[in-house]
Structure 1
Amino acid sequence: MKHTTISLILLILQALVLYLIPTEAAPTKPRLFREYIGANFKNVKFSDVPINPNIEVHFILSFAIDYTASSPSPTNGKFNKFWDTDNLSPSEVSSIKGKHSNVKVALSLGGDTVGGGFAYFKPSSVDSWVANAVSSLTRIIKEYNLDGIDIDYEHFKANPSIFSKCIGRLITTLKKNGVISFASIAPYDDAEVQRHYLTLWKCYGHLIDYVNFQFYAYDQGTTISQFMSYFETQASNYNGGKILASILSDGIGGLSPENGFFTACNRLKDRQQLAGIFIWCADNSKARGFRYEKQSQELLAS
């Protein structure tokens, strides 16, 4: 009887110890799919793109550029709409978000070209650029009921420090004012581009929610092992960031779906390193039936 009582007490104490020791939370599954939309004016609509209800989906309007629409020239942070506004209007944003509670819509800044030339980041001064950018983007974001911004400048006529201060202060202010709930950056492996974005990351990485790294900018014919190496390098560069894997709709750059992109994504997923997938872009995917979008979303939802 005495032995039984002692055993019972020991069992109770063991249960209490197990109860009091905090258990490690289960790793979060990668459930974010993002897609750029509207840059190529191919009459694509949000409703054309497949939407899996079991993941979070971000559409990224491309692009808002601080250039004039009539003759492309820098306007020091005064952003204008350069996407397909006929098919991707405020009412279309409201409609897709109303039908799908898992959808958010963001706005990408900069891009590669405008009016036949490069879209340069060229502020007159940090203070004036930030003031103009906050004002012009707040107006567009509220008009369209958007949720976040993406930074996709690829050409620069300002040093990394100026870029970091401008973009960092912009994100800080928009978040503080409750205008956006998330921000992302879209760098790729080019020395000048990386200098600018890594300087921004060093100073303001805590405010950047996602890294849409352009892995498709690597050479066509990239192998799975090369891709995995590239991913590890960028995860180290943007330490602590949510790095998304990426492909082109036409599959002509980096690791293509045919050569093993989804195999690589599954490997990253097994290692709990895959924060999500993004695709450039819905405009080009339309003619192909959005097959990579479907495959990406199925992988993320599984």
Structure 2
Amino acid sequence: MEVSKFCFIQAFFFFFLIASPQASSSSIFREYIGAEFNNVKFSDVPISSNVEFHFILSFAIDYDTSSSPSPTNGKFNVFWDTRNLSPSQVSSIKSQKSNVKMAVSLGGDSVASGSAYFDPSSIDSWVSNAVSSLTDIIKQYKLDGIDIDYEHFKSDPDTFSECIGRLIKTLKNNGVIKFASIAPFDDPQVQSHYKALWNKYGNIIDYVNFQFYAYDEGTSVSQFIDYFNTQSKNYEGGKVLVSFISDGSGGLSPGGGFFTACHKLKSEQKLHGIFVWSADDSMANGFRYEKQSQALLAPSH
């Protein structure tokens, strides 16, 4: 009698786990914030309690903060809007919303008026500097993860792979971060670097924030699905997230069929989550599409 009761409790607990909203792997919503210094705050952004919500602070860059910035070989500095997105504001939103996690994105497209290059002096020195400087930033802001968004390179793919792979591995092993993502897009040089990283270290990368908005403006739903399937093969076994750009300047726009594509992927159990570039731009439309995305991602009851 006792054994059967124990088995029933086990079965009930297992059912509860798989039925609970938190167990859904498709309810990840991520949003980049802070790169454009237009006074957006965490509290401005609508946050549904039915998703796991990641803010991604943009950006920390291994360049100095002079008026004409130059590379620092892995010594990262903060380049986001710290006046509105400070450590105390991070603590505040996380204490108010238990489903909010925080990440920092590394690199980005530009610094000051020039491109932000991945430009290490050597693998060992870059990794050592990056681990030290990022640990300080992550602890100061009480962040949960990192995102890799280098888009310009002065290194070969193998060097990039080793530097970033070792960085993620060390930060995870040290208990500094819980998750890591990469943010490639469909460009030959970019893909060669990120695919080298994925092939060697994909097992420690939790999300692929693929920049689908880097495809041509006016992308159709069927093209979008094709692109998604192609990139899912490129980053095989990864959680490839779909994405849009708030100002509609590229890819499949929210008003042009993005949510139709999401519903199709969701029905095929391929929708791992949605991310947006960026909260800074979404202020202008009242975060309309953030609300729609989170409603779509929320687990069905």
Per the normalisation by structure 2, the TM-score is: 0.91
SS in 2 for 1:149: strand
Deviation of 1:251 (Å): 1.1
C-alpha offsets along residues 127-153 of structure 1, whole Å, 9 cap, x if unaligned? 000000000000000000000000000
For residues 41-60 of structure 1, the aligned pairs below 5 Å read 41-60=37-56
Which residue pairs with 2:223 in the alignment? 226
From 247, 251, 256, the equivalent of 1:250 is 247
Name structure 2 gaps, 5 residues minimum.
Answer: 1-10
Which residue pairs with 2:4 in the alignment? none
Task: Say if 2:232 is the partner of 1:238.
Answer: no
Opposite residue 201 of structure 1, the aligned amino acid is W
Per the normalisation by structure 1, the TM-score is: 0.91
CA distance in 2, matches of 1:112, 1:267: 31
CA distance in 2, matches of 1:241, 1:39: 27
SS in 2 for 1:260: helix
SS in 2 for 1:263: helix
SS in 1 for 2:240: coil
From 56, 65, 68, the equivalent of 1:69 is 65
CA distance in 2, matches of 1:98, 1:258: 34
C-alpha offsets along residues 47-105 of structure 1, whole Å, 9 cap, x if unaligned? 00000001100000000000001131000000000000000000000000000000000
CA distance in 1, matches of 2:129, 2:255: 44
From 95, 101, 104, the equivalent of 1:98 is 95
CA distance in 1, matches of 2:163, 2:175: 18
CA distance in 2, matches of 1:252, 1:74: 30
SS in 2 for 1:226: helix
SS in 1 for 2:275: strand
From 281, 288, 294, the equivalent of 2:291 is 294
CA distance in 1, matches of 2:185, 2:266: 22
CA distance in 2, matches of 1:243, 1:154: 18
Deviation of 1:279 (Å): 0.3
The number of equivalent residue pairs is 281
With 256-265 and 123-132 compared, the bigger mean Cα shift is at: 256-265
CA distance in 2, matches of 1:296, 1:115: 32
For residues 1-302 of structure 1, the aligned pairs below 5 Å read 28=24, 30-70=26-66, 71-301=68-298, 302=300
With 64-73 and 27-36 compared, the bigger mean Cα shift is at: 27-36
Identity within the alignment, %: 71
In our comparison, the structure showing a higher alpha carbon Rg is 1
CA distance in 1, matches of 2:285, 2:255: 14
Deviation of 1:257 (Å): 1.3
Opposite residue 79 of structure 1, the aligned amino acid is F
C-alpha offsets along residues 178-237 of structure 1, whole Å, 9 cap, x if unaligned? 000000000000000000000000000000000000000000010000000000000000
Which residue pairs with 1:12 in the alignment? none
Deviation of 1:29 (Å): 5.3
SS in 1 for 2:71: coil
- When residues 29 and 139 of structure 1 are mapped into structure 2, their CA distance, relative to the original with a 3 A threshold, is closer
CA distance in 2, matches of 1:98, 1:29: 23
SS in 2 for 1:96: helix
CA distance in 2, matches of 1:93, 1:186: 23
Alignment root-mean-square deviation, CA: 1.4
Deviation of 1:155 (Å): 0.1
Deviation of 1:288 (Å): 1.1
Deviation of 1:252 (Å): 1.5
SS in 2 for 1:227: helix
CA distance in 2, matches of 1:46, 1:259: 27
CA distance in 2, matches of 1:29, 1:203: 24
CA distance in 2, matches of 1:166, 1:58: 24
